[in-house]
Structure formats: structure tokens, C-alpha cells
Chain A
């Protein structure tokens, strides 16, 4: 089974801090994704990466950056955390081989910015 592991289930940080959310997948997937999930808004794509060192903006990239130095690891960075970035963050991965390969999600990191 594919396993996508997010480093923390819960995280509390302060306004202005630089925050790192880590995600690791164990299936050699090319694609990795970061979403945030907010009540009434569903999941929204922040950034994704289709290969090592490659990235593409999603729908809401402002205030975020990402890093993919190794194939199995995809990091989401909040450069200067703000209270409106309090949310559930979900990482996902998928293979590029074949059509319609499903995305495999981690269990999420609930981030609170005080």
C-alpha cells in the first residue's frame, strides 16, 4: 500500500514565524501535491511538483513556497505565518504512469497560527 506521511498531525506556531510542513511518500511517485482544507471551501491546491526540483503554482500559492530536493519528499513553507493560514494541510502523491492514476493522501497537518 502507498503510504504518504506528514511529519506532524498538529502544529501551533506564532504569527511571523517561518513554518515547514514535511511530506514523505514511499512509492517512488513523480507527482506530489499540497492542499489546504477549510470548512465550506473544500480542498484547494496550493502547489504541486511533477519531478525533483520542479514545481507549479496551484490555485492559492500566495504566502507559500515549496521545496522538492528528493523525489520522496515535498516540503511546504510558510515564509511568514499569518493567522489566515490556520487550516488543515493535506499532502498527496501520484504516479505519472498511465492515465487516471489516483492521488494518495496523507492524514493531514492541522496548523494553528496564533
Chain B
């Protein structure tokens, strides 16, 4: 299974940018990198995904290293509602043609008021 490595926890001050790193040195050439987050007492929710180029959406930005062995999720202005566990995820193909996500243990982000 393709694997990712993330720090267990990070802290940020409110209103400041947050950079959440992820290493995925075993990534294959066609693997997309997905990020999800899990707020307290909720299921994971999709944040962003990308292949090679940097990606932006209303929630975050994703910066992907040129060799694709690492990526960084960027929250431009952290709020208290961004306190969550953030998962960097690769996928493995299943026999039916769909994919399963390989979840690690994620990074617990604490936002300080």
C-alpha cells in the first residue's frame, strides 16, 4: 500500500497561515494526492486534491513538490473552526476499477485564539 507520513500534531495562531506537510516518497506517477479533514465528532470531509500542479480552492491550497515526494496543505488564515485532524491520502486501485483510500493517522491541528 502506498503510504504517507505526517507530523502527529501542529499548532497555529488564529488568523495566521498554516502549512501542513506530508511525505509520500513511494507515490507512483499517476497517483493523485488527496487531503481530507475530520472535525470533532464528525466524519472526514474532502478538502482538496492534486497531481502535479499547485491547486487552490475555497478551503485551502495544495503545493506539490516537483518530484512529487511531498506536498503541503496551506490554510491561508486559520480560524478556530479549522481545528481538526488533517489527513494526506493516497489511493490504491481495487479490482472493480474503483479506488480505496489509504488513511494514515493524520496531523491534529490546534488553533490558538
Q: Which residues of A contact B (CB under 8 A)?
A: 4, 31, 33, 35, 40-45, 48, 50, 54, 56, 58-59, 90, 92, 94, 96, 99-100, 102-108
Q: Which residue of A lies closest to B45 (CB)?
A: A105
21 A-B residue pairs with CB within 8 Å: A43-B44, A44-B103, A45-B100, A45-B101, A50-B96, A50-B97, A56-B94, A58-B100, A59-B100, A96-B97, A96-B98, A99-B32, A100-B34, A102-B46, A103-B44, A103-B46, A103-B101, A104-B46, A105-B43, A107-B43, A108-B42
Known: A50-B94, A90-B44, A107-B41. 9 other contacts (CB 8 A): A33-B100, A35-B103, A43-B87, A43-B101, A59-B100, A90-B43, A100-B32, A102-B34, A105-B44
Interface residue SS majority, chain A: strand
**Chain B positions within 8 Å of A105 at CB level:** 42-45
Interface residue SS majority, chain B: loop
Q: Is B104 an interface residue (CB 8 A)?
A: yes
**Chain B positions within 8 Å of A58 at CB level:** 100
- In this complex, how many residues of chain B approach chain A with their Cβ under 8 Å: the count is 21
Contact between B43 and A100, CB atoms less than 8 A apart: no
Among B42, B100, B106, point to the contact of A42 (Cβ < 8 A).
Answer: B106
Contact between B96 and A54, CB atoms less than 8 A apart: yes
**Chain B positions within 8 Å of A102 at CB level:** 34, 46, 49
